[in-house]
């Protein structure tokens, strides 16, 4: 049991106003506390949970897309390395050829 911050009476959080957190007595007196009640906090948590879920899946898809891009980049880089190796070999062959011709 927590005490009501306004009237000082022991009141269960479940008997308080779901949205304002006011105890039944304060509510009867027409007082509207500006502080958020337990219900509001739960509601906010649910809303945050609800809205953050699609965000997480979007992030996951973005990450997987990034992985794909990295894989493609790696592939392209591997191909470039292969091409570079072939080019170097060709250049070496050409040099050898040139040396041979020079003899």
Which residues contact Zn ion by CB under 5 A?
4, 6-7, 23, 25-26
Which residue lies nearest Zn ion, judged by its C-beta? 4
Q: Nearest 5°: CA angle at 83, between 82 and 89?
A: 90
Helix extents (H) in 1-103:
24-28, 38-102
CB of 30 to Zn ion, least distance (A): 12
Structure tokens at 41: 């906090």
In the bound state with Zn ion, the residue whose beta carbon lies nearer, of 6 and 40, is: 6
- Closest to Zn ion by CB, 10 vs 100, is 10
- Taking residue 23's Cβ as centre, other Cβ atoms within 10 Å add up to 26
**Rounded to the nearest whole angstrom, what is the least distance from the CB of residue 54 to Zn ion in the complex?**
39
Query: Cβ closer to Zn ion: 1 or 56?
Result: 1
């Amino acid at each position: 049991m927590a005490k009501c911050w306004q009237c000082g009476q022991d009141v269960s959080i479940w008997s308080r106003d779901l949205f304002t957190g006011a105890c039944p007595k304060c509510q009867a007196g027409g007082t509207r506390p500006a502080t958020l009640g337990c219900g509001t906090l739960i509601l906010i948590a649910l809303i945050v949970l609800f809205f953050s879920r699609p965000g997480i899946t979007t992030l996951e898809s973005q990450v997987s897309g990034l992985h794909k891009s990295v894989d493609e980049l790696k592939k392209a880089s591997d191909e470039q390395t292969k091409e570079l190796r072939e080019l170097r070999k060709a250049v070496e062959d050409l040099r050898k050829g040139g040396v041979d011709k020079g003899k």
